[in-house]
Structure 1
Amino acid sequence: MASGEHEHDEQAASHIDEAMIDAMGLRMAVAGPGVLDVTRVLSGRVHVDPSRVSRVRPRFAGLIEAVDAALWSQVSKGQVLARIQSNDSLQSYDLRAPIGGWIVRREALVGEITGDEPLFVIADLSSLWIEFDVFDHDLDAVRVGQRVNIRGLHDDALGQGVIEQLSPLAIHIAQSVRARVVVDNREGQLRPGQYVSGEVIVSQQSYPLLVQQSAVQQLDGRAVVFEQSGDEFVARPVVLGARDADQVAVLDGLQAGARYVSGNSYLIKADIEKSGAAHHH
């Protein structure tokens, strides 16, 4: 996997045979026209969907004989939560979960007499709401039906959703409008109370030449993309333009139709830098 020259007056290159390309797991793509997402970034918080919350009360007041469900445990619909002896009939009956979900509150204790308060609160977290604050400078662009990419505090991807509702009211203190996004959470990647950001895709813009952002590396202080020509990978210095979460526009330095390294490009950079260091020694 020997690499070639690494001087400012010529383009650095790495020579890698076909077998090594596969072994390194290099992913290739072809540079060409496409569209970039134009986004606005909003801040928001995750909430439980109120329609997916069940407050479980006993059918008949009585003595709690047994409690089978623990706080923060997951239960299925129909599962026995507790056993209660009715004050009227003195017969015991099972209190069952009306929905599947998580026990987020538990007030049932063995030996106590039930009252009017719920003994359990169950929340189905498989689908959650995220409410984003939309301020004046974004109100002209944000609309119901737009797609939203959800990200955590460390920019980790947490899912996607669509703006389903925009509040007709402004929040008095912040002077913002709430945008509600419903997110599939069957994999449990989101938690109620969590703060997130949302990239709202407000429009799309066409560009003549795009590459994957993962293709771009810094070499000798310049942005480069590694173009493949046979078993040679040449570092092409590029001038970059607009970008979105995945792609970036190339304004100069690369031709349409160029086959380039889109994944694991850092391995090519490391090989060139290693060979350059060896050459200088």
Structure 2
Amino acid sequence: MSAPKVKPKVKPKVKIELTRAKIAALVGGLLLLIAAVATGTVLVEHSVHDHDAEEHEGHDHGKPGEAAHDHGEPGEAAHGHGEHAEGEHGHGEHAEGEHEEGKVKLSPEALDNARLELLTAGPGKVADTVSLPGEVALNAEALAHVTPRVSGTAREVRKQLGDTVKKGDVLAILDSREFAELQRELLTAKERLELAEANFNREEALWKEKIAAEKEYLSSKQALAEAKIEHRSAAQKLQASSGAGSGAKGGAYALIAPIDGTIIEKHINIGEVLKDDTQAFVIADLSTIWVNVTVYAKDLARVSAGQPARVRAEGIEQPADGEIAYVGPVVGEQTRSATARVVLKNPGAAWRPGLFVTADVAVAEVDAPVVVSYDGLQRVEGKDVVFVQEGDAFEARAIKPGRYGKAPGEQGADLVEVLDGIASGERYVGKNSFLLKAELGKSEAGHDHAH
């Protein structure tokens, strides 16, 4: 009897159900795993970096306290490389040797092109001066007030404040009823004159032929003379109202510039009604100006007309030269001083009326141990300097200037006394010294840039 067959046991199938809670747990575990791996990587990299740093310190050739790669002396910055870096970026002593401070060297070619005037400092005559306070004023003899001849209304204004004008320029155009009436009178007088001339010619011809009586001839002659007088009078009145060369017509006339100059005042606008006493423009010829100087009682005996004067003003580098043209004969009761006038010709735009100045009036001439040409005097960094020749170079030597004077002769050069800074016999540059000043400025600018 055979044994009965035994059926193998079959494992029951496991059914896995993924709920939301289980999914969330799986995702959380995965994230934790990723974080752990990343942390380990960072720790490994940090360890490697620390190891490299330790090896680097072990191979540092500097002394304790020095920065890495510092091959210089203690306390120097990284990559300083000691004197090498200074020579590379600061040019060291080599750069200073190229341009000695305060000196200018020119090549032979540049020296020839500059045409410098070499002079010798020595004794000379300068002026004994009296310094007096003053004020710049307009030349009252070169001033013009432009007013209408008759009342009118401004139609055009062609010139403005500050404009430079020439004599005869049209400043403005005015419309005037009064002027139109004068024009009408002139036309009437002209018609009467023409009629009187025709009547006289006819009566004269008849009288010569003994057709007309002499009485009628003489009457026509008298009428002609009266018509001429009337016409001439009307023309003169019109010309006096408009001004010569105004080009007036149609009741309009022009305001004309009577002199060359600059408009310093303007009191006219388009549409404005001007009376015959309205000051529409003031024109000043600024080619000459006055300096009214106060002369105190103690100096009156020394100051006289014709004496040269050098006028100085704060903010104006170059003084202006003139001479005393007038000394007032009256001393003020309150000021106990008189007024003298210095005339300056073509002083420049910087000399504006109202500016306070000091006038150095030359009252006598004295000897000075050392003088130099005024052309050689330059201003460098706020100091008066003279370029003194030293071998093949020129040194900008600071000096202390004193009194001023002129070399002998009508066209003598201006001189200045030197109280300190240059000795008699030393050679210096006169004319064209400004070229050395410019060269010195370029050299110093390049030296500053190099450092």
- More strand by percentage: 1
CA deviation map 1:82-118 (0-9, x unaligned): 1112213171122211112222222222223221222
- Whether the 8 Å contact between 2:369 and 2:424 is mirrored in structure 1 is no
CA distance in structure 2 between the aligned counterparts of 1:40 and 1:172, rounded to whole angstroms: 23
Task: Note if 1:70 corresponds to 2:70.
Answer: no
1:178 maps to what in 2? 339
Q: Pick closer, same or farther for the CA change 1:84–1:186 going to 2, 3 Å.
A: farther
CA distance in structure 2 between the aligned counterparts of 1:192 and 1:114, rounded to whole angstroms: 28
CA distance in structure 2 between the aligned counterparts of 1:156 and 1:70, rounded to whole angstroms: 31
Q: Pick closer, same or farther for the CA change 1:105–1:151 going to 2, 3 Å.
A: same
CA distance in structure 1 between the aligned counterparts of 2:309 and 2:176, rounded to whole angstroms: 50
CA distance in structure 1 between the aligned counterparts of 2:252 and 2:401, rounded to whole angstroms: 72
- Whether the 8 Å contact between 1:158 and 1:189 is mirrored in structure 2 is no
- Whether the 8 Å contact between 1:149 and 1:157 is mirrored in structure 2 is no
Task: Note if 1:190 corresponds to 2:356.
Answer: no
Stretch moving more, 104-113 or 145-154: 104-113
Identity of aligned residues (%): 30
CA distance in structure 2 between the aligned counterparts of 1:215 and 1:163, rounded to whole angstroms: 26
The CA deviation at 1:179 is 0.7
CA distance in structure 1 between the aligned counterparts of 2:342 and 2:292, rounded to whole angstroms: 6
CA distance in structure 2 between the aligned counterparts of 1:80 and 1:175, rounded to whole angstroms: 47
2:274 maps to what in 1? 114
Q: Pick closer, same or farther for the CA change 1:171–1:111 going to 2, 3 Å.
A: same
- Whether the 8 Å contact between 2:126 and 2:403 is mirrored in structure 1 is yes
Task: Note if 1:132 corresponds to 2:132.
Answer: no
The CA deviation at 1:155 is 5.8
- More helix by percentage: 2
Segments of 5+ residues of structure 1 without an aligned counterpart are: 4-13, 217-223, 272-281
Task: Note if 1:103 corresponds to 2:288.
Answer: no
- Whether the 8 Å contact between 1:60 and 1:87 is mirrored in structure 2 is no
- Normalised by the length of structure 1, the TM-score is 0.71
CA distance in structure 1 between the aligned counterparts of 2:104 and 2:139, rounded to whole angstroms: 56
2:252 maps to what in 1? 92
CA distance in structure 1 between the aligned counterparts of 2:143 and 2:282, rounded to whole angstroms: 7
Task: Note if 1:247 corresponds to 2:337.
Answer: no
- Whether the 8 Å contact between 1:215 and 1:260 is mirrored in structure 2 is no
Segments of 5+ residues of structure 2 without an aligned counterpart are: 1-95, 182-250, 379-385, 406-414, 444-451
Task: Note if 1:19 corresponds to 2:108.
Answer: yes
Q: What is the number of equivalent residue pairs in this alignment?
A: 252
Look up the equivalent residue of 1:194 and give its one-letter code.
Answer: L
The CA deviation at 1:131 is 0.4
- Whether the 8 Å contact between 2:322 and 2:342 is mirrored in structure 1 is yes
CA distance in structure 1 between the aligned counterparts of 2:395 and 2:136, rounded to whole angstroms: 46
For residue 150 of structure 1, give the secondary structure of its aligned residue in structure 2: strand
CA distance in structure 2 between the aligned counterparts of 1:120 and 1:153, rounded to whole angstroms: 31
CA distance in structure 1 between the aligned counterparts of 2:255 and 2:321, rounded to whole angstroms: 37
- Whether the 8 Å contact between 1:148 and 1:200 is mirrored in structure 2 is yes
The CA deviation at 1:23 is 8.7
User: Equivalent of 1:164, from 315, 321, 325?
Assistant: 325
Look up the equivalent residue of 1:140 and give its one-letter code.
Answer: A
The CA deviation at 1:136 is 2.5
CA-based RMSD of the aligned residues comes to: 4.1
The CA deviation at 1:148 is 0.8
- Normalised by the length of structure 2, the TM-score is 0.47
Q: After TM superposition, list the pairs within 5 Å mapping 1:258-273 onto structure 2.
A: 258-260=426-428, 263=433
CA deviation map 1:230-264 (0-9, x unaligned): 5488999x9x99643743357999554x4345655
Q: Pick closer, same or farther for the CA change 1:82–1:32 going to 2, 3 Å.
A: same
